[in-house]
Amino acid sequence: MPGVLQGFRDIHRDLCSLGLDRIIAPAIGYLERGVELTPLQAGLLKTLTPILTYTEYGKEIFNPEQKRIYNPLLKEFLLALSWDAWFEKLYKAVEEFEHSSEKTGGVLTLKDVMEYRTARREPLLIPYRGRTILANPPPSFGGSLLKVAFDYLSTVNLRGMSGTEKILSRVSAMERMQRSKSLAGGTTHISVIDEDGNAASMTISNGSNSGCFLGDTGIMLNNMMGEDDLHPQGFYKMPCGERVPSMMSPTIIKEGDEVLYVLGSGGSKRIRTAMMQVIVNLIDEGMNIHDAVEFPRMHLDDEGVLQVEPGYSDDLLRPLGEYYNVNIWKEKDMYFGGVHIVTGDLRGWGDSRRGGVFREAE
Measured between alpha carbons, how far is residue 142 from residues 107, 245, 248, 250, 252 in Å?
A: 27, 9, 5, 8, 13
Residue 57: closest CA among 74, 43, 79: 74
Q: Strand runs (DSSP E) across 136-266, as ranges? A: 187-193, 199-205, 251-255, 258-266
Residue 270: closest CA among 178, 153, 196: 178
**Could you tell me if 29 and 38 are in contact, meaning their C-beta atoms sit under 8 angstroms apart?**
no
Q: Is 55 a known active-site residue?
A: no
One of 38, 49, 164, 187 is an active-site residue; which one? 187
- Please give the helix or strand (H or E) that residue 47 lies within, else none: helix 39-47
Is the dihedral angle over the CA atoms 191, 194, 197, 199 positive or is it negative?
Answer: negative
Distance CA 346, CA 102 (A): 50
Q: How many CA atoms lie within 13 A of 258 on its CB side?
A: 8
**Could you tell me if 5 and 84 are in contact, meaning their C-beta atoms sit under 8 angstroms apart?**
no
Distance CA 213, CA 202 (A): 23
- From the centroid of its chain, how far is CA 292? 18
Distance CA 326, CA 316 (A): 12
Hey, which residues does 342 pair with through a beta bridge?
A: 262, 348
Q: For residue 293, give the amino acid letter.
A: V
**Could you tell me if 170 and 146 are in contact, meaning their C-beta atoms sit under 8 angstroms apart?**
no
Residue 308: closest CA among 170, 185, 188, 173: 170
Catalytic residue positions? 187
